[in-house]
């Protein structure tokens, strides 16, 4: 099933995000986590794509395995800065043979290029989106930033670029992670005012420690509410305490989003299962989904 069909079917949509493991040991842990998360019967999972273009077909390969062996509905990420048009065409052909009909079209993070030059066939995700739509075989989604993209001068200008992406054929959006729901609801209002009326799935991730919090605030420019900051500082160094606090915070955040009308949740798993399982159990205990 295409993600757009599931979104139109009604009810809340739940999904998980994975990234391709790099080592054999990581692969073992990844598939253990994936099997545990499969028990929750997510509507789909997504598989990230390296902006550096390293092992460019790893995303397609892992997507195929997750669909064929574990029965997940898969959304494969593709990035502009990692691939030429010819490579995109070849990857799409591979995805089709695997029965994968969902793609998330992204520009990709320039800071993840590891000193490499970005490919120049595409400059914007809207261009990649348009090419994917022309194939007629994929449901295409896009990314959005409730607090604005770090490179955008203003939220309004970021939404103007997002409107181009939707006009090119993006049928739904998945947000960058955020920790203050006010940003999500404000973003929805401004997007709707700009004429963007596709479903927007909020991205949620529980913080695991002080260093991770610093990375998000410095690199991704994500705001951290004072209550969350105080909790992270208090429990940093206490693994069990940190896990409980982070899961409780993310669960409350997720429940409020769903009650406020969000079409579902997209959980960034970091290839682990424990937190995602706990969050979904908490959410389903607080709200009818």
Give the sign of the dihedral formed by CA 61, CA 66, CA 70, CA 74: negative
Q: Please give the Cα distance from 167 to 189 (Å, whole number).
A: 18
Cβ-contact 82, 99 below 8 angstroms: no
At residue 113, the pLDDT reads 45
Residue 177 to residues 39, 121, 180, 197, 213, Cα–Cα distance (Å): 24, 28, 10, 20, 12
- 152, 107 in Cβ contact below 8 A? no
Q: Classify residue 82 by its DSSP letter.
A: G
pLDDT of residue 141: 98
What pLDDT, on the 0 to 100 scale, is given for residue 200? 98
Q: What is the structure's pLDDT at 247?
A: 96
In the set 17, 73, 147, 171, the catalytic residue is: 17
Tell which residue, 61, 63, 106, has the closest CA to residue 83.
106
pTM of the entire structure? 0.93
The pLDDT profile of the chain, 289 residues, written as one tens digit per residue, is: 899 999 999 899 999 999 999 899 999 999 999 999 999 999 999 999 875 555 557 899 999 999 999 999 999 999 988 788 998 999 999 999 999 999 999 988 755 445 555 556 888 899 999 999 998 889 999 999 999 999 999 999 999 999 999 999 999 999 999 999 999 999 999 999 999 999 999 999 998 888 888 887 877 789 999 999 999 999 998 999 999 999 999 999 999 999 999 999 999 999 999 999 999 999 987 776 6
Q: Does the active-site annotation cover 17?
A: yes
CB-CB contact of 14 with 44 (8 Å):
no
| Domains along the chain with CATH numbers | 3-286 (3.20.20.220)
Q: Which helix (H) or strand (E) holds 110?
A: none
């Amino acid at each position: 099933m295409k993600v757009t069909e599931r979104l139109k079917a009604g009810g809340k949509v739940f999904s998980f995000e994975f990234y391709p493991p790099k080592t054999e040991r990581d692969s073992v842990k990844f598939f253990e986590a994936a099997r545990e998360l499969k028990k929750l019967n997510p509507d789909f999972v997504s598989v990230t794509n390296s902006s550096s273009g390293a092992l460019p077909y790893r995303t397609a390969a892992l997507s195929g395995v997750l669909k064929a062996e574990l029965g997940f509905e898969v959304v494969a990420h593709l990035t502009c800065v990692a691939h030429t048009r010819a490579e995109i065409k070849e990857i799409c052909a591979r995805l089709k043979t695997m029965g994968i009909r969902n793609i998330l079209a992204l520009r990709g993070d320039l800071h993840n290029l590891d000193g490499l030059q970005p490919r120049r066939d595409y400059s914007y995700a809207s261009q990649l989106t348009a090419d994917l739509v022309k194939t007629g075989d994929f449901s295409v989604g896009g990314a959005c930033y409730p607090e604005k993209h770090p490179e955008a001068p203003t939220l309004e200008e970021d939404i103007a670029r997002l409107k181009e992406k939707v006009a090119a054929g993006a049928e739904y959006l998945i947000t960058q992670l955020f920790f203050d729901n006010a940003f999500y609801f404000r973003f929805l209002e401004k997007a709707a005012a700009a004429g963007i009326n596709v479903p927007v799935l909020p991205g949620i991730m529980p913080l695991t420690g002080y260093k991770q919090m610093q990375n998000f605030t410095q690199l991704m420019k994500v705001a951290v509410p004072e209550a969350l900051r105080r909790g992270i500082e208090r429990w940093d160094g206490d693994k069990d305490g940190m896990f409980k606090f982070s899961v409780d915070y993310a669960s409350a955040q997720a429940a409020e989003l769903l009650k406020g009308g969000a079409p579902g949740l997209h959980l960034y798993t970091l290839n682990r299962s424990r937190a995602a399982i706990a969050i979904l159990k908490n959410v389903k205990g607080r709200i009818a989904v």
